[in-house]
């Protein structure tokens, strides 16, 4: 059975071979958050466009502003302004943060280190040339590449696009991810469940995870555990870039997902991973769609989505896959798990001490989504560890929606 990191590598390799050039669209900057940039963005001018003061204070010639020196202040420059005349030797000019430093001046003195009487300013320490000035063009020159294609557009990237005046952003279309939950016992959340029915929570959690991961969720109507119904619904899901199924991949008599997929021509890259929860996870390709068969127990579905589906969404979005952001933390209480599989235990990470501390949560197994709402991470218990004493360093996978 595959260790989870090898399974992830397989997902990454297969998704890359699937990632034919992604279609692009132009989005208003206000809608572009979370998309992947499709074309490079270059600087329209020098940044900063002028020698910019980074402090409120006095623009001086550094050589004039020696400790105890007094200089006559000849005016002021507000942000958005400058003065045409070069600064005469032996004088200074009051300047605000963000204003253009006049020619002749080569340093800005913070107002805190000066004293002023009428128009005479006295300095209490020496000035270093270029202090508190960001030189014109030092952040970017006109024509410089500021945002390369493939970049995920977060708040800083959108700010740079705004700065260089790009208000329509060339983005890759997000991949469409069909969601098909399976199970005779699973009923739509708008219906009243019978005594032995379960409401379909997985379609909701999967849609949320897909959206957070950067995909477009396409929920399908739940499939029954019957070959004809499963085939018909899977066919619908094969119209999209990725199909994520929940349920029907275990060893039960009515776990038919894998055999139905096979009947539709799927090839499989793995059909089990050495993890708990999530062991029966299936990954393959059917026609041109990457297919994930995730176990139906809600926590298994959520864990396996985060481990295996997110890199596929990254790659089909036009980005590099984001690494698993594993953290190291100190285990708060001793922990026992059966060895042989890597366990992902719902847990709570706290930063009250200098190093983060992680406490496993009490739970009833992988159906217990209520326990998961008290978690902010999964504690990763390696397959070769049966017992881990309190105080040991352990690895933690933050939940990608809350941390």
- The answer to whether the CB of 332 falls within 8 A of the CB of 390 is yes
Residue 297 binds which entry of ligand AMP, Mg ion, none, CB below 5-8 Å type-dependent? ligand AMP
> In the complex with ligand AMP, which residue's Cβ is closer, 237 or 296?
296
Residue ranges in contact with ligand AMP by CB under 6 A = 181, 183, 185-186, 198, 200-203, 246-248, 250, 252, 295-298, 367
Residue 11, by phi and psi: left (phi above 0), alpha (psi -120 to 50) or beta? alpha
- Residue 389 beta carbon to ligand AMP: minimum distance, rounded to whole angstroms: 33
- Residue 296 beta carbon to Mg ion: minimum distance, rounded to whole angstroms: 5
> In the complex with ligand AMP, which residue's Cβ is closer, 201 or 359?
201
> In the complex with ligand AMP, which residue's Cβ is closer, 214 or 298?
298
- Residue 372 beta carbon to ligand AMP: minimum distance, rounded to whole angstroms: 13
Residue 94 binds which entry of ligand AMP, Mg ion, none, CB below 5-8 Å type-dependent? none
- The answer to whether the CB of 55 falls within 8 A of the CB of 113 is no
Residue 150, by phi and psi: left (phi above 0), alpha (psi -120 to 50) or beta? left
Is residue 247 a contact residue for Mg ion (CB under 5 A)? yes
> In the complex with Mg ion, which residue's Cβ is closer, 216 or 272?
272
> In the complex with ligand AMP, which residue's Cβ is closer, 54 or 201?
201
Question: In this structure, what is the dihedral angle of CA atoms 23, 25, 31, 34, given to the nearest 10 degrees?
Answer: 30
- Give the angle 184-372-403 at the CA atoms, nearest 5°: 125
- Residue 245 beta carbon to ligand AMP: minimum distance, rounded to whole angstroms: 10
Buried b (16+ CB within 10 A) or exposed e, 28-60: eeeebebbbbbeebebeebbbebbbbebbbbbb
- Whether residue 201 is preceded by a cis peptide bond, meaning omega within 30 degrees of 0, is no
Question: Site mask, Mg ion, residues 177-206, x = CB under 5 A?
Answer: ------x-----------------------
> In the complex with ligand AMP, which residue's Cβ is closer, 7 or 147?
7
- Residue 20 beta carbon to ligand AMP: minimum distance, rounded to whole angstroms: 31
Q: Which of residues 320-349 bind Mg ion (CB under 5 A)?
A: none
Q: Which of residues 273-302 bind Mg ion (CB under 5 A)?
A: 296
β pairing state of 186-187 and 52-53: unpaired
d(CA 200, CA 192): 11
> In the complex with ligand AMP, which residue's Cβ is closer, 47 or 363?
363
**What length does the chain have?**
403
Query: What contacts 162, CB < 8 A, 6 or more positions away?
Result: 29
d(CA 113, CA 103): 22
- Residue 14 beta carbon to ligand AMP: minimum distance, rounded to whole angstroms: 23
- Residue 202 beta carbon to ligand AMP: minimum distance, rounded to whole angstroms: 3
- Binding residues (CB under 5 A) for Mg ion: these are 183, 247-248, 296
């Amino acid at each position: 059975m595959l260790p989870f990191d090898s399974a992830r590598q397989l997902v990454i390799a297969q998704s890359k071979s699937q990632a034919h050039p992604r279609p692009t669209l132009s989005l208003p900057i206000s809608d572009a958050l979370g998309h992947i940039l499709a074309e490079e963005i270059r600087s329209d001018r020098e940044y900063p466009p002028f020698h910019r003061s980074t402090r409120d204070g006095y623009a001086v010639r550094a050589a004039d502003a020696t400790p105890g020196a007094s200089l006559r202040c000849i005016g002021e420059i507000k942000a958005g302004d400058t003065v045409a005349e070069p600064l005469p030797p032996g004088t200074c000019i009051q300047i605000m943060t963000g204003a253009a430093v006049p020619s002749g001046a080569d340093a800005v003195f913070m107002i805190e280190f000066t004293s002023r009487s009428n128009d005479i300013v006295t300095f209490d320490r020496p000035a270093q040339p270029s202090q508190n000035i960001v030189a014109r063009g030092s952040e970017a020159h006109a024509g410089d590449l500021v945002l390369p294609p493939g970049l995920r557009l977060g708040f800083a990237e959108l700010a740079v696009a705004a700065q260089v005046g790009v208000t329509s952003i060339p983005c890759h279309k997000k991949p469409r991810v069909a969601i098909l939950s399976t199970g005779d016992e699973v009923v739509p959340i708008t219906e009243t469940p019978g005594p032995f029915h379960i409401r379909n929570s997985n379609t909701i959690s999967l849609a949320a995870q897909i959206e957070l991961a950067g995909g477009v969720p396409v929920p399908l109507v739940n499939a029954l555990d019957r070959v004809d119904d499963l085939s018909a619904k899977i066919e619908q899901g094969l119209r999209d870039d990725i199909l994520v199924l929940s349920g029907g991949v275990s060893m039960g008599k009515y776990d038919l997902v894998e055999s139905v997929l096979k009947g539709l021509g799927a090839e499989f890259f793995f059909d089990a991973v050495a993890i708990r929860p999530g062991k029966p996870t299936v990954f393959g390709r059917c026609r041109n769609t990457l297919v994930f068969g995730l176990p139906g127990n809600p926590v298994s579905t959520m864990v396996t989505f985060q481990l295996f589906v997110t890199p596929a969404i990254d790659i089909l979005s036009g980005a590099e896959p984001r690494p698993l952001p594993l953290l190291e933390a100190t285990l708060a209480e001793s922990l026992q798990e059966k060895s042989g599989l890597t366990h992902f235990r719902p847990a709570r990470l706290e930063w009250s001490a200098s190093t983060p501390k992680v406490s496993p949560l009490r739970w009833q197994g992988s159906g217990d989504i209520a326990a998961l709402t008290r978690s902010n991470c999964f504690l990763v218990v390696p397959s070769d560890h049966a017992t881990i004493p309190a105080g040991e360093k352990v690895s933690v996978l933050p939940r990608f929606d809350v941390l």
